[in-house]
Structure 1
Amino acid sequence: MDMTKLRAWWWHRQGLDGALGGATPAEVLSRTGWARSVGGVNPYLTLFARAGVHRGTVDAAVEALEIYELPSARGCTYVLPAEHFALGLQLGRGAAEVPLRTLARLGVERAEIERLCADVVTLLDGRTLDPAKLKAELGEAVRTLGEEGRKRGQATTLPAALGLLQAAGEIRRVPSGGRLDNQRYAYTRWSVPPTGLDDAAARAELARLYFHWTGAATLAHFRWFSAFTVAAAKAAVAGLDLVDLGDGLLAPADLAAEYAAFAPPPTPRYALLAGIDALLLLRRDVPSLLDAPDAECPIPGAPDRRMGMVPDLPDHPIVDRGRVIGLWQYDVAAEEVVWWLFGGATPERDLAATIARTGVYIRDELGDARSFSLDSPQSRAPRIAALRAG
């Protein structure tokens, strides 16, 4: 494969070439894929890097239910456009059943959880309550499961009930302050019309979306993203008319023709992305985004580990036409992006401008660039020091 062309194609399909300038948050997520959300900066940077969308616009789209954070693929939370709410919930529904198996081993029958679900729905009629208030008002309907429950990650029966209701589209989590970069929530009632698809058809629809988001991926890449079994993944792609571009990379026939005619842009175009941006996470294949010499480069601060030997990058990536060319973090105290480029390079003018623009966005609108909810300036300090040291 011509990796320069392939990486630029992935970058193009992800809307990182400027083609989505002015698009709404929902349009960006529909075109390029759902934004993984773990209480970090990724949903905001996803939309800023692709369409220049500012935080206020994103938060307004969340409030208007044009986009929303929901459990979906693999049961993980992603920010989805409204047109995919029902599909995402259907695909993630099985994960909500998992805690019930743990509860059964603790002596909690499903009927008890279903009664608790009914109580929660009644309480939330016309109201929005956080988990503490819900627990207080539900009283003895919520069972405390003692030390054994805590060891198994189920301190009470309430989280399992909330998970089932959220997966069913009967309640939704309301993010604290309306922001996507935290994991503090209240809950309220809502109703999501079902897809009308059986589970096999829903899996096929995810496959159709996925290969258009990526432009080209292997069946193994799709299985990682979807968590489908081999048989389910093969069945999901069976009707898609996928073409093998080489090395097992599959693309829809219309996109395969576009790829054949595609030429990588001759001039750089940079983006500072989150470490779980869809460009990386849809396939979770770091080496494919690195030039061969860069893959052999030691990770800053970890000289015994090579860049091309890790499943996930240690920091956020700096990307040029699909190729990872460096890493970055945000230093809250200094109010600046701290960067590191392969080969000890110095940013040229356009890259310096991109770094500065992203830094201003984070400083003025986000305040920080956490990778996930438990990330903090203190926990990040060693990585920032390593990037500064080169």
Structure 2
Amino acid sequence: MNDAALRLFRPDDPDFAADPYPDFAELRALGRVHRYEPTRQYLVPGHADVSALLRDRRLGRTYLHRFGHEEFGRTPPPGEHEPFHTLNDHGLLDLEAPDHTRIRRLVTKAFTPRTVQRLEPVVRRLAAELVGDLVDAGGGDLVAAVAEPLPVAVIAEMLGVPESDRPLLRPWSADICGMYELRPSEETARRAVRASLEFSAYLRELIAERRTAPGDDLVSALILAHEEEDRLSEQEMISTCVLLLNAGHEATVNTTANGWWTLFRHPDQLAALRADPALLPTALEELMRFDTPLQLFERWVLDDIEIDGTLVPRGSELALLFGSANRDGARFDRPDELDLSRSDNPHISFGAGIHYCLGAPLARLELAASFGELLRRAPGLRLVREPEWKPGFVIRGLEELAVEV
């Protein structure tokens, strides 16, 4: 079991990161769970298991609501990393009930379907401007020109961040997200701590301004959100805003770039989409399934569980392999084929259970806007050269995607 995992799961290998799917298929064929010693995790590659475990309350994104570090058999994080953990540990992504339930309920009062609906004309205008600039230039790097600036601008607009401050957001987000890789370096940790401190200080000032002069933005709505006497603390508001940027933009950036790279490698499917733009809704779901932007999601084992006869004891950590699950032939017909008309598509790219992505409707809106504009304004969009992948495997994306119009 260990030998198979070591041979097939190589997150530090650029060749594996570029195309992990053949190895995932072999890993699924060899079993439902595999111990991976380098990170002391259990790898879970199958769709049925990943989907069920995301909903299993014997698992958690954190264990601190039930156990101390030593009690759980884990070493506390270094004290110098504390600013990152304070920011991360107060966000919805890494909380469990009852804190998760309370905060999600309050955030949902501010981040409503009407919030997303109200943003639609803004999203479409921003996408049209960015694609228009790319077309006027005759092409360029699709990542830098469209994929990255669109979700950052949308989140900034939603939060009420002034346009002059928006260039700060992307570097902060990238540095913080470096900590979500499997074995971040000390330099990665230093950058994440610095970004956590700077982003938190910026948001603290923004929140103070909105307390005295509320606006029509999410920060103002978070300040006002309450239930009886319960309100979000300042740290909870800061962590929520950072999570919305990080989760909302990393996945959208990589789905956009990875999606176009997939389309360029499947010219018949790209031609079908250009001929029938009504395919776009199912096409976007299929692109998220076919090349998943978030490859792995972790869960702590809070109570002993058993997977296919293997006891996974309390204190263990599961690595749920989203990319593998989304290519599982036990759930998807022709899993390694790109089919933009695929209607039976229960991919798990947005997660499942209580941690299902709060921003999924906004991500779908942004993707529909940018892909739709590119299909309309750049019908001859073509690849200039084969792209390279960024280092890292968990959040998996391209360095650039050079295109011509």
Q: Establish whether TM, by shorter chain, passes 0.5.
A: no
Q: Compare the two structures and name the one with the higher strand fraction.
A: 1
Q: Compare the two structures and name the one with the higher helix fraction.
A: 2
The TM-score normalised by the length of structure 2 is: 0.26
